[in-house]
Structure 1
């Protein structure tokens, strides 16, 4: 790439001087950057500034004031912008929404405010990543819980063209939680209905992959603790899907022993009943549906995996 090409790219990223609302937008962004809610409120009381609320300003990667507030975690400024009609799912040059940047910054209060205001919990279809994948990678259970509560896709996977599909596109949120060792997020995803076998359920994608790995195989490959294997078993993973080559050199760790034991011991009736009931619940967020079931509290807790099988 020549120096001229690089200069052209940077010129495209810079705000255009002829934009009439650039000055007003920059003033709004400055107030947000300083977390000055009083000044921001005064500016938004003027029609000219309200007209620039969705404009972009800033050198390099121009952003809207709402995107700035979400990225910085300035809740009051974010709320003021929403109250005055800021576009909630506006995209930056990376196709990231304000919600995505709030999740990346681990700003839980801003995440909740955006979701309550109607932000798409799945982010933008034009961005390869998603808020759920980001929260799973960071192990931010609180943020992940809110995203799922507002209807985010639990089996989210990287968005790539069909022709580019490969094993990487199967690396969804459950896979990421296991690889990064985030047990809390791993269990939360399963509780919200994540597929315990393949994190990717797209048949067209799976057809392009010669040897798609199950989550069980991934957990064994990366040496995840026995807790991960037990959770997958409890949530109905097919223990016969992983192809295991057992010989004298295979390290007989606790996780592998548990899996081998599960292959020869059938599930109890209690465990099978729990799996059957959870599968029949039509909602992604199953806890509210379980809470209204006309069964004893101890059984409701068991359905939510809050009680051991020996009840």
Structure 2
């Protein structure tokens, strides 16, 4: 245990050092800035894309296009445009070569900022420009976790369509493994009552048992709470339980709370019914097919399968 903790501390110090090295302003910029940074930021704050474009045509301004400065939270001009939702300014900055994954003082990318503020159009443009859908490796959270918590299903769809991980975890230290094992986007969508996000995550391959594929993490937790357990504990609508069952959750993992019967809770009734009636062969075939495609990173290839359209719809959980 001591060696593990020492290793964890070492890695944390390395990450902190890396973050500070990334955020430290260039000395040359500090010595030569005569207000150009503030002028750039003012144009973005005013949503004046024309002026911004004219400024960036001049080298004395363009050299600060990725500089970290600003009001309140230090960040780049791109970060400011993303936080304000000023799409035209965002597009101008990208056209002039702004770093799409630049970090602010909290190690958050412009994409993370756009997701946090709910600016769908900015999210789309940043992703199309090559922004990492998972955000920064130096930040403890991720765009997917934020979208799942906030219930912004359109933004979540964009992130997942661009390859974001549906089983992503918040980055927490080893001693908080129990919390980390129950911090995936499915858990957040269930607890905050976002059924559309919950279903979308499952459609993109989120694990229906623990929303986790990290076996080392699960092994460190004596009794990790399953998603069905979580839904029952938080009195989620029975639709959540039914979706987990339909997407292949292990119905024998959850423990039914003492004193709770199927007459008391519709979710428990669904679970008990699923235990009493075996899955149909068609349902099992769907789960296996989707699992194989997901492992190959080809879930989107369902539409290309040489099978009748009615089966394609069934594989995609469409009515």
TM superposition score normalised by structure 1: 0.89
**Residue 269 (structure 1) shift:** 1.1
| 1:182 counterpart residue number | 194
1:79-228 mapped onto 2 (5 Å cutoff): 79-228=91-240
1:293-308 mapped onto 2 (5 Å cutoff): 293-307=305-319
| 1:63 counterpart residue number | 75
| 1:72 counterpart residue number | 84
Distance verdict in 2 for CA 1:234–1:221, change over 3 Å: same
**Residue 207 (structure 1) shift:** 2.2
Q: Does 1:272 align with 2:284?
A: yes
| 2:47 counterpart residue number | 35
Is the partner of 1:262 in helix, strand or coil?
A: helix
Partners of 2:288 and 2:25 in 1: CA distance: 56
**Residue 63 (structure 1) shift:** 1.7
| 1:53 counterpart residue number | 65
**Residue 14 (structure 1) shift:** 11
Q: Which has the higher helix share?
A: 2
**Residue 299 (structure 1) shift:** 1.0
**Residue 62 (structure 1) shift:** 2.0
Q: Does 1:255 align with 2:264?
A: no
For residues 273-311 of structure 1, give each alpha carbon's deviation from its aligned partner in whole angstroms, at most 9, with x where no partner exists: 11111111145562x31111111111111100002xxxx
Partners of 2:88 and 2:273 in 1: CA distance: 54
| Contact 1:151–1:284, Cα closer than 8 Å, also in 2 | no
Distance verdict in 2 for CA 1:205–1:44, change over 3 Å: same
Distance verdict in 2 for CA 1:168–1:185, change over 3 Å: same
Distance verdict in 2 for CA 1:60–1:209, change over 3 Å: same
Of 166-175 and 187-196, deviating more is 166-175
Matched residue pairs, number?
295
| 2:253 counterpart residue number | 241
**Residue 250 (structure 1) shift:** 7.8
| Contact 1:149–1:285, Cα closer than 8 Å, also in 2 | no
Is the partner of 1:231 in helix, strand or coil?
A: helix
What root-mean-square deviation, in Å, do the aligned CA atoms of Structure 1 and Structure 2 show? Answer: 2.2
Of 141-150 and 196-205, deviating more is 196-205
